[in-house]
Amino acid sequence: MSWSVDSWRKFPIKQQPSYGDKEALAAVERDLSSFPPLIFAGEARNLKEDLARAARGEAFIIQGGDCAESFAAFNAETIKNLFKLILQMSVVVTYSSGKPVVKIGRVAGQFAKPRSSDFEEKDGVKLPSYRGDIINDIAFSAEAREPDPYRMVRAYYQSAATMNLLRAFSRGGLADLNEVHRWNLDFIKSHAIGKKYEEVSCQIDKTMKFLKAVGINSKNTPQLRQTNVYTSHEALLLNYEEALTRIDSISQDWYNTSAHMLWIGDRTRDLNEAHIEYFRGIKNPIGCKVGPSMQPDELVELITALNPDNEEGKLNLIVRMGASKIEELFPPLLKAVKESGKNVVWTIDPMHGNVEKSSTGFKTREFDNILSEVKSFFKIHKEHGTVAAGVHLEMTGEDVTECTGSASCSITVDDLSSRYHTQCDPRLNANQALELAFLISEIFN
Ligand code: PEP
Ligand code: CO
């Protein structure tokens, strides 16, 4: 079966917009195809090596960011706070586990959303669902919900600017380990969890002083002053992804240059459909969500299709069963993959299987359920002698009220309305995410 960058177009496909103006769509695709890449293939290869390390238990992956980025919430502060939060969580995990953290943002391209229904109905009016800012607008009007191909261009520019800032933060001094105190976000500082973070920071200060005394400092040791934050998103809108898929001049292989890592959603991972066809041809490290309907033999077939050369660090399986289902549904999958001898990188998304509707009408997630699914994931791996390589979270560096619970901020159902800002699914706020990092670090001890 030959693959080409557009061979996915011959396959059935789910969760796509229907563009009215085909000429405008073609013009946008042509433009995007000529735009510069957002990442280099060499960076994607480095991430693959990092993921392989995590799969061997030598590193731990923290992947996180918005459920959906938006055009409206695009500003430096939001990006900086997410960056700081990822660094804080990484420090906490590295400090307790002794393992480096592979940092991956759900950022700089996370715009397209699969939806449970093609339509949304309000007061007798039925309109196409909102599918993410790269496709249409969240406002509830016929005009706003019309898919607009030019949104892909805007998403590209926003991704480029976001990536630019992340690179600047990573290399320009903010990631220096002498700055650990500065990563503590203002609204967390006064909370118990912020204070706990300060304690870890003080320990790191001492270590830095010691290292400096023996001649190792951030001037002569780049690892102390800079980091790598990789980017990732769900490659759902294949028109956009195809336009940014290019041949790498060094390896002559095809790479998606819109992000370092791309993943396939739980609703579009059918073996005979377009997304699998597209993904099997790109060389980036890739992810695939593994939800409750996945069968063991189906999973092994999927791995074979997506990672035919059985490369290490190539394929990340992102388990998202839900706290009440993981103990029953995950072990048979893990066993089948282990017996197949195939290389995969297992991580846990404890968000998407734990969505509930609050009595006040908000889509929310309870912190205890999120933590419980993470703990089950680690426990099951321990029982099977396999490696829990990381977590995949929907989170923000902002002080939002979208998920309930946690000791650090104990958000109740009644609090949800106060700062419920998400475009799509409820995210952990910075307090909750940092608390989760501390609880994960306890699992390592
Ligand atoms: C997501 O990660 O935002 C998502 C839609 O997840 P899933 O495909 O697991 O439902
Ligand atoms: Co989501």
**pLDDT digits over 129-141, tens only?**
999 999 999 999 9
Number of other residues whose CB lies within 10 A of the CB of residue 145: 21
List, in sequence order, every residue forming a beta bridge with 132; answer none if it has no partner: none
Residue type, 345: V
In this structure, which residue's CA is closest to atom 1 in ligand 1?
67
Mutate-to-test residue for ligand 1 from 135, 233, 236, 267, highest number of ligand atoms within 8 A of CB: 267
Q: Which two tokens stand for residue 260?
A: 């370092």
All structural domains of the chain:
7-175+226-444 (3.20.20.70)
Atom of ligand 1 nearest to the CA of 392: 2
Q: How far apart are CA 363 and CA 384, in angstroms?
A: 34
Helices marked H in 341-423: 367-384
Q: Closest Cα to atom 8, ligand 1: which residue?
A: 265
Ligand 1 mean position to 171 CA, how many Å? 31
Number of Cβ atoms within 10 Å of the Cβ of 423: 19
pLDDT higher than threshold 90 for residue 331: yes
Distance 67 CA to ligand 2 centre (A): 4
Kindly report the pTM of this predicted structure.
0.98
Residue with CA at minimum distance from ligand 1 atom 10: 266
Please state, in angstroms and rounded to a whole number, the distance separating the CA atoms of residues 327 and 340.
Answer: 21
Is the pLDDT confidence value at 106 over 90? yes
Residue 1: what pLDDT? 81
Q: Is the pLDDT of residue 340 over 90?
A: yes
- Strands 345-348 and 356-357, bridge-based pairing: unpaired
Q: Which atom of ligand 1 is nearest to the CA of 318?
A: 9
Measure 4 CA to ligand 2 centroid, in angstroms.
Answer: 30
Q: What is the mean pLDDT of the chain?
A: 97
Q: Which residue has the tokens 């791995």?
A: 303
Give phi and psi for 436, each to the nearest 5.
Answer: -60, -40
Q: Give the lowest-confidence range in 139-143, 186-190, 208-212, 266-270.
A: 186-190
Atom of ligand 1 nearest to the CA of 264: 8
The ligand 1 atom nearest the CA atom of 289: 9
pLDDT of 186 higher than 90: no
pLDDT band of residue 189 (cuts 50, 70, 90) is confident
Average pLDDT over residues 116-125: 95
At 408, is the pLDDT very low, low, confident or very high (cuts 50, 70, 90)?
confident
Sequence-distant (6+) residues with CB within 8 A of 280 are 3, 305, 306, 308
Provide, rounded to the nearest whole percent, the portion of the chain with pLDDT above 70: 100
231 sits in which H/E element: strand 229-234
Give me the phi and psi of 8, to 5 degrees please: -60, -25
Lowest mean pLDDT, pick from 63-67, 195-199, 248-252, 363-367: 195-199
Checking if the pLDDT of 241 tops 90, the result is yes
CB distance 63 to 110 below 8 Å: no
Alpha-carbon torsion, ordered 128, 157, 394, 297, to 10 deg: 70
**Given this model, what pLDDT does residue 187 score?**
83
| CA of 352 relative to ligand 2 center, distance in Å | 6
291 Cα to the center of ligand 2, angstroms: 13
The partner residues of 363 in beta bridges, in order of sequence, read: 357
Mean pLDDT throughout 192-199?
Answer: 91
Question: Which one of 233, 320, 348 would you pick to mutate in the ligand 1 pocket, going by the greatest count of ligand atoms within 8 A of its CB?
Answer: 320
pLDDT tens track for 242-294 = 999 999 999 999 999 999 999 999 999 999 999 999 999 999 999 999 999 99
Beta bridge partners of 288: 264, 317
Mean predicted confidence (pLDDT) in 37-46 = 98
3-state percent breakdown (helix, strand, coil) of the chain, nearest 5: 45, 15, 40
Say which ligand is closest to the CA of 110.
1
CB within 6 Å of ligand 1 — which residues?
67, 114, 234, 265-267, 289, 291, 320, 352
The contacts found for 25-33 with CB under 8 angstroms, 24 or more apart, are 25/149, 25/239, 27/149, 28/149, 28/150, 28/152, 28/153, 28/239, 29/149, 29/239, 29/242, 29/243, 31/153, 32/152, 32/153, 32/156, 32/240, 32/243, 32/244, 33/243, 33/244
Q: Alpha carbon of 105 to those of 63, 207, 296: distances in Å? A: 6, 28, 29
Nearest CA, atom 9, ligand 1:
266
Q: Residue 131: nearest ligand to its CA?
A: 1
pLDDT-derived band at 54 (thresholds 50, 70, 90) equals: very high
Is 409 a residue whose pLDDT tops 90? Answer: no
Percent of the chain with pLDDT over 90: 96
423 CA distance to ligand 2 middle (Å): 10
Ligand 1 centroid to 71 CA: how many Å? Answer: 20
| Confidence at 365, pLDDT banded by 50, 70, 90 | very high
**Measured CA angle at 34 (ends 28, 37), to 5 deg:** 110
Atom of ligand 1 nearest to the CA of 110: 3
230 has which bridge partners? 104
C-alpha count within 13 angstroms, C-beta hemisphere, residue 311: 20
* pLDDT given for residue 415 in this prediction: 96
DSSP 9-52: GGS---S----S-HHHHHHHHHHHHHSPPSS-HHHHHHHHHHHH
Ligand nearest to the Cα of 318, by number: 1
pLDDT of residue 445: 78
For the CA of 67, the closest atom of ligand 1 is 3
User: What is the reported pLDDT for 9?
Assistant: 98
Q: Residue 418 has which token pair?
A: 């106060």
How many A from CA of 351 to the centre of ligand 1?
A: 9
Res 176: pLDDT? 94
Ligand 1 atom closest to the Cα of residue 265 is 8
Residue to mutate (ligand 1; options 133, 234, 263, 373; most atoms within 8 A of CB): 234
Question: How much distance in Å is there from the Cα of 24 to the middle of ligand 2?
Answer: 29
Ligand 1 centroid from CA 352, angstroms:
6
Phi, psi of 203 (to 5 degrees): -60, -40
Averaged over 344-368, what is the pLDDT? 97
